[in-house]
């Protein structure tokens, strides 16, 4: 029961983390191709992403910690272990990319206003937007690996399995 519960927790936290990144990915086209500097700065710095930084941080770190524990719980189980490890590594890579490429831009953005920003704001925007997009893809891989780690231990190939022998009247 512990393993099932931990798998559920890990997959849910990872799905929430991936969902936050997917939201960034969906927002990318209009933000990059249609927003002018003032609109991009205003929407990015004035509260639209406030909960991404607080709730998102808890979800992000929680998903990685849960994945680490899950990987330890399934060690020695072959494919489930390797898939859990892959999911854990991918989630950690996404966090490292955030720390290297997004956090510094966030720190810089904290000093901007919609009417006061550097002339090379596009460089910051592109780094922020495209790293978020890359993280969405990486987190999709992490979530997929974690779900596949559960499927790898699911018996049977069909959606509807025949009942166990004991239910068909055959004693083993």
pLDDT tens by residue, 115-129: 999 999 999 999 999
| Residue 154 pLDDT | 84
| DSSP 8-state assignment for residue 26 | H
Q: How confident is the model at residue 47 (pLDDT cuts 50, 70, 90)?
A: confident
Is 157's pLDDT higher than 60?
A: no
Task: Give domain limits for the chain.
Answer: 2-153
Spatial distance between the Cα atoms of 99 and 168, rounded to a whole number of angstroms: 57
* CB-based contacts of 40, cutoff 8 Å, min separation 6: 31, 121, 125
Is 160's pLDDT higher than 70?
A: no
Is 23's pLDDT higher than 70?
A: yes
Spatial distance between the Cα atoms of 2 and 113, rounded to a whole number of angstroms: 49
pLDDT digits (tens, 9 = 90+) for 66-115: 999 999 999 999 999 999 999 999 999 999 999 999 999 999 999 999 99
Task: Of 102, 101, 109, 90, give the one whose Cα is nearest residue 17.
Answer: 90
Q: Give this prediction's pTM.
A: 0.87
| DSSP 8-state assignment for residue 162 | P
Spatial distance between the Cα atoms of 56 and 85, rounded to a whole number of angstroms: 22
* Average pLDDT rounded to a whole number, residues 129-133: 98
């Amino acid at each position: 029961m512990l393993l099932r519960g931990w798998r559920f927790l890990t997959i849910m936290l990872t799905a929430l983390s991936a969902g936050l990144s997917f939201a960034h990915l969906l927002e990318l086209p209009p933000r990059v191709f249609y927003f002018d500097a003032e609109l991009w700065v205003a929407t990015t710095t004035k509260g639209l992403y406030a909960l991404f930084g607080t709730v998102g941080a808890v979800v992000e770190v929680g998903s990685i910690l849960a994945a680490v524990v899950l990987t330890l719980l399934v060690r020695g189980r072959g494919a489930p272990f390797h898939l859990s490890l892959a999911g854990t590594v991918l989630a950690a890579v996404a966090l490292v990319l955030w720390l290297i490429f997004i956090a510094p831009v966030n720190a810089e953005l904290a000093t901007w206003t919609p009417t006061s920003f550097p002339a090379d704001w596009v460089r910051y925007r592109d780094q922020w937007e495209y790293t978020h997009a890359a993280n969405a893809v990486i987190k999709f891989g992490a979530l997929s690996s974690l779900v596949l780690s559960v499927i790898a231990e699911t018996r049977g190939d069909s959606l509807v399995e025949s009942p166990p022998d004991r239910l068909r009247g055959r004693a083993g």
